[in-house]
Copies of this chain bind each other. A is one copy, B any other.
Protein backbone atom coordinates (compact mmCIF):
# COMPACT_ATOMS: atom_id res chain seq x y z
CA UNK A 1 0.00 0.00 0.00
CA UNK A 2 1.53 3.33 -1.04
CA UNK A 3 2.04 5.86 1.70
CA UNK A 4 0.58 9.33 1.40
CA UNK A 5 3.54 11.14 2.94
CA UNK A 6 6.31 9.87 0.68
CA UNK A 7 4.82 9.34 -2.77
CA UNK A 8 6.87 7.86 -5.56
CA UNK A 9 6.91 9.44 -8.99
CA UNK A 10 5.01 6.39 -10.24
CA UNK A 11 2.47 6.77 -7.47
CA UNK A 12 1.91 10.41 -8.30
CA UNK A 13 1.50 9.67 -11.98
CA UNK A 14 -0.78 6.66 -11.60
CA UNK A 15 -2.94 8.25 -8.94
CA UNK A 16 -3.47 11.19 -11.27
CA UNK A 17 -4.26 8.89 -14.19
CA UNK A 18 -6.77 6.99 -12.09
CA UNK A 19 -8.47 10.10 -10.75
CA UNK A 20 -8.77 11.57 -14.22
CA UNK A 21 -10.24 8.40 -15.69
CA UNK A 22 -12.55 8.03 -12.68
CA UNK A 23 -13.75 11.61 -13.07
CA UNK A 24 -14.65 10.83 -16.67
CA UNK A 25 -16.50 7.70 -15.66
CA UNK A 26 -18.29 8.90 -12.54
CA UNK A 27 -19.40 12.20 -14.09
CA UNK A 28 -20.69 10.49 -17.22
CA UNK A 29 -22.28 7.37 -15.75
CA UNK A 30 -22.71 8.00 -12.06
CA UNK A 31 -21.24 6.07 -9.16
CA UNK A 32 -23.10 2.82 -9.78
CA UNK A 33 -22.89 3.13 -13.54
CA UNK A 34 -19.11 3.46 -13.63
CA UNK A 35 -17.06 0.27 -13.40
CA UNK A 36 -13.60 -0.40 -12.06
CA UNK A 37 -12.72 -2.26 -15.24
CA UNK A 38 -13.72 0.76 -17.29
CA UNK A 39 -11.77 3.19 -15.15
CA UNK A 40 -8.72 0.93 -15.08
CA UNK A 41 -8.85 0.49 -18.83
CA UNK A 42 -9.14 4.22 -19.46
CA UNK A 43 -6.23 4.83 -17.11
CA UNK A 44 -4.14 2.19 -18.87
CA UNK A 45 -3.91 -0.01 -15.79
CA UNK A 46 -5.20 -3.40 -14.79
CA UNK A 47 -8.01 -3.57 -12.26
CA UNK A 48 -5.91 -5.16 -9.49
CA UNK A 49 -3.27 -2.53 -10.08
CA UNK A 50 -5.88 0.17 -9.74
CA UNK A 51 -6.97 -1.35 -6.45
CA UNK A 52 -3.37 -1.24 -5.36
CA UNK A 53 -3.61 2.56 -5.38
CA UNK A 54 -7.15 2.96 -4.09
CA UNK A 55 -8.58 0.35 -1.79
CA UNK A 56 -12.11 0.45 -3.20
CA UNK A 57 -14.38 2.06 -5.77
CA UNK A 58 -15.82 4.29 -3.07
CA UNK A 59 -12.33 5.39 -2.03
CA UNK A 60 -11.75 6.78 -5.54
CA UNK A 61 -15.11 8.50 -5.47
CA UNK A 62 -14.42 10.06 -2.07
CA UNK A 63 -10.98 11.20 -3.18
CA UNK A 64 -12.55 13.02 -6.12
CA UNK A 65 -15.20 14.70 -4.00
CA UNK A 66 -12.72 15.73 -1.32
CA UNK A 67 -10.53 17.44 -3.85
CA UNK A 68 -13.55 18.93 -5.55
CA UNK A 69 -15.17 20.77 -2.67
CA UNK A 70 -12.09 22.89 -2.09
CA UNK A 71 -11.86 24.37 -5.56
CA UNK A 72 -15.61 24.56 -5.79
CA UNK A 73 -15.86 26.98 -2.90
CA UNK A 74 -13.01 29.22 -4.01
CA UNK A 75 -15.15 31.63 -6.04
CA UNK A 76 -17.34 32.26 -3.00
CA UNK A 77 -14.35 32.73 -0.72
CA UNK A 78 -12.89 35.25 -3.15
CA UNK A 79 -15.68 37.73 -2.47
CA UNK A 80 -14.12 40.77 -0.82
CA UNK A 81 -16.32 42.30 1.94
CA UNK A 82 -14.43 45.55 1.45
CA UNK A 83 -14.97 45.66 -2.30
CA UNK A 84 -17.65 47.38 -4.35
CA UNK A 85 -20.80 45.24 -3.81
CA UNK A 86 -22.11 45.03 -7.37
CA UNK A 87 -18.70 44.29 -8.86
CA UNK A 88 -17.97 41.71 -6.18
CA UNK A 89 -21.20 39.87 -6.91
CA UNK A 90 -20.80 40.04 -10.69
CA UNK A 91 -17.24 38.84 -10.28
CA UNK A 92 -18.54 35.92 -8.27
CA UNK A 93 -20.96 35.03 -11.04
CA UNK A 94 -18.20 35.25 -13.63
CA UNK A 95 -15.84 33.07 -11.61
CA UNK A 96 -18.53 30.49 -10.96
CA UNK A 97 -19.51 30.36 -14.62
CA UNK A 98 -15.87 30.03 -15.68
CA UNK A 99 -15.49 27.13 -13.27
CA UNK A 100 -18.52 25.41 -14.76
CA UNK A 101 -17.20 26.01 -18.28
CA UNK A 102 -13.67 24.81 -17.56
CA UNK A 103 -14.57 21.92 -15.25
CA UNK A 104 -17.90 20.52 -16.47
CA UNK A 105 -16.97 16.99 -15.35
CA UNK A 106 -16.49 18.18 -11.80
CA UNK A 107 -19.78 20.07 -11.94
CA UNK A 108 -21.63 16.98 -13.14
CA UNK A 109 -19.94 14.79 -10.54
CA UNK A 110 -21.12 17.17 -7.85
CA UNK A 111 -24.61 17.37 -9.32
CA UNK A 112 -24.90 13.59 -9.39
CA UNK A 113 -23.83 13.33 -5.78
CA UNK A 114 -26.43 15.88 -4.65
CA UNK A 115 -29.14 14.37 -6.86
CA UNK A 116 -28.66 11.05 -5.05
CA UNK A 117 -29.10 12.74 -1.68
CA UNK A 118 -25.42 13.48 -1.01
CA UNK A 119 -24.68 10.10 0.62
CA UNK A 120 -20.98 10.96 0.75
CA UNK A 121 -20.87 14.76 0.93
CA UNK A 122 -23.84 15.21 3.25
CA UNK A 123 -21.75 16.19 6.26
CA UNK A 124 -19.65 18.62 4.28
CA UNK A 125 -22.80 20.34 3.03
CA UNK A 126 -24.37 20.93 6.41
CA UNK A 127 -21.00 21.73 7.95
CA UNK A 128 -18.35 23.42 5.86
CA UNK A 129 -20.59 24.62 3.04
CA UNK A 130 -23.35 25.91 5.27
CA UNK A 131 -20.90 27.83 7.44
CA UNK A 132 -19.29 29.47 4.42
CA UNK A 133 -22.64 30.41 2.90
CA UNK A 134 -23.91 31.83 6.17
CA UNK A 135 -20.78 33.90 6.50
CA UNK A 136 -21.07 35.42 3.05
CA UNK A 137 -24.81 35.82 3.34
CA UNK A 138 -24.14 38.11 6.27
CA UNK A 139 -21.81 40.21 4.15
CA UNK A 140 -24.35 40.43 1.36
CA UNK A 141 -27.12 41.29 3.80
CA UNK A 142 -24.93 44.07 5.12
CA UNK A 143 -24.55 45.47 1.61
CA UNK A 144 -28.30 45.32 1.09
CA UNK A 145 -29.10 47.02 4.36
CA UNK A 146 -26.64 49.74 3.47
CA UNK A 147 -28.60 50.27 0.26
CA UNK A 148 -25.68 49.23 -1.93
CA UNK A 149 -27.49 46.20 -3.39
CA UNK A 150 -31.16 45.64 -4.14
CA UNK A 151 -32.71 43.77 -1.21
CA UNK A 152 -33.48 40.08 -1.42
CA UNK A 153 -32.77 36.90 0.54
CA UNK A 154 -28.96 36.42 0.39
CA UNK A 155 -29.19 32.63 0.67
CA UNK A 156 -31.55 32.37 -2.26
CA UNK A 157 -29.48 34.88 -4.18
CA UNK A 158 -26.50 32.56 -3.79
CA UNK A 159 -28.66 29.62 -4.82
CA UNK A 160 -29.59 31.48 -7.97
CA UNK A 161 -25.93 31.97 -8.84
CA UNK A 162 -25.29 28.27 -8.35
CA UNK A 163 -28.34 27.21 -10.30
CA UNK A 164 -27.76 29.50 -13.27
CA UNK A 165 -24.07 28.80 -13.68
CA UNK A 166 -24.06 25.06 -13.09
CA UNK A 167 -27.07 24.64 -15.34
CA UNK A 168 -24.87 25.21 -18.38
CA UNK A 169 -22.51 22.41 -17.35
CA UNK A 170 -24.93 19.91 -15.82
CA UNK A 171 -27.59 20.26 -18.51
CA UNK A 172 -25.20 20.92 -21.35
CA UNK A 173 -26.89 18.22 -23.42
CA UNK A 174 -30.23 19.98 -23.15
CA UNK A 175 -28.76 23.42 -23.80
CA UNK A 176 -27.03 22.14 -26.91
CA UNK A 177 -30.16 20.36 -28.12
CA UNK A 178 -32.33 23.46 -27.71
CA UNK A 179 -29.88 26.04 -29.04
CA UNK A 180 -28.60 23.95 -31.91
CA UNK A 181 -25.02 23.53 -33.03
CA UNK A 182 -24.51 26.99 -34.49
CA UNK A 183 -24.42 28.91 -31.22
CA UNK A 184 -21.83 29.26 -28.46
CA UNK A 185 -23.71 28.62 -25.21
CA UNK A 186 -20.92 29.70 -22.90
CA UNK A 187 -20.30 33.05 -24.50
CA UNK A 188 -24.03 33.75 -24.62
CA UNK A 189 -24.43 32.61 -21.04
CA UNK A 190 -21.75 35.00 -19.86
CA UNK A 191 -23.42 37.97 -21.52
CA UNK A 192 -26.87 36.90 -20.38
CA UNK A 193 -25.93 36.34 -16.75
CA UNK A 194 -24.12 39.66 -16.68
CA UNK A 195 -27.24 41.64 -17.59
CA UNK A 196 -29.48 39.25 -15.66
CA UNK A 197 -27.71 39.74 -12.33
CA UNK A 198 -27.06 43.41 -12.92
CA UNK A 199 -30.82 43.89 -12.97
CA UNK A 200 -31.45 41.66 -9.99
CA UNK A 201 -28.81 43.36 -7.88
CA UNK A 202 -29.52 47.00 -8.76
CA UNK A 203 -33.29 47.22 -9.02
Contacts and interface: CB of A to CB of B under 8 A. Distances in A.
Interface of A: 28-33, 108, 111-112, 114-118, 122, 125-126, 129-130, 133, 150, 152-153, 155-157, 159-160, 162-164, 166-168, 170-171, 173-175, 177-180, 188-189, 191-192, 195-196, 199-200, 203
A178 B125 contact: yes
Given A32-B33, A167-B163, A199-B203, A177 B122 contact: yes
A87 to B, nearest CB: 18
A153 B192 CA distance: 7
Nearest to A196: B200
Nearest to A126: B177
Report the 7 A-B pairs with minimum CB-CB distance, sorted nearest first.
Answer: A163-B167, A125-B177, A32-B33, A199-B203, A156-B192, A126-B177, A163-B163
Contact of A178 (B33, B155, B188): B155
The A interface, classified by DSSP as helix, strand, loop or mixed, is helix
A105 B94 CA distance: 31
A115 B114 contact: no
Contacts of A189: 156
A32 B35 CA distance: 11
Nearest to A34: B32
Contact of A177 (B29, B118, B171, B174): B118
A162 to B, nearest CB: 7
A153 B184 CA distance: 13
A117 B176 CA distance: 11
Contacts of A150: 199
Contacts of A162: 167, 171
A130 B111 CA distance: 24
B112 A115 contact: yes
A189 to B, nearest CB: 7
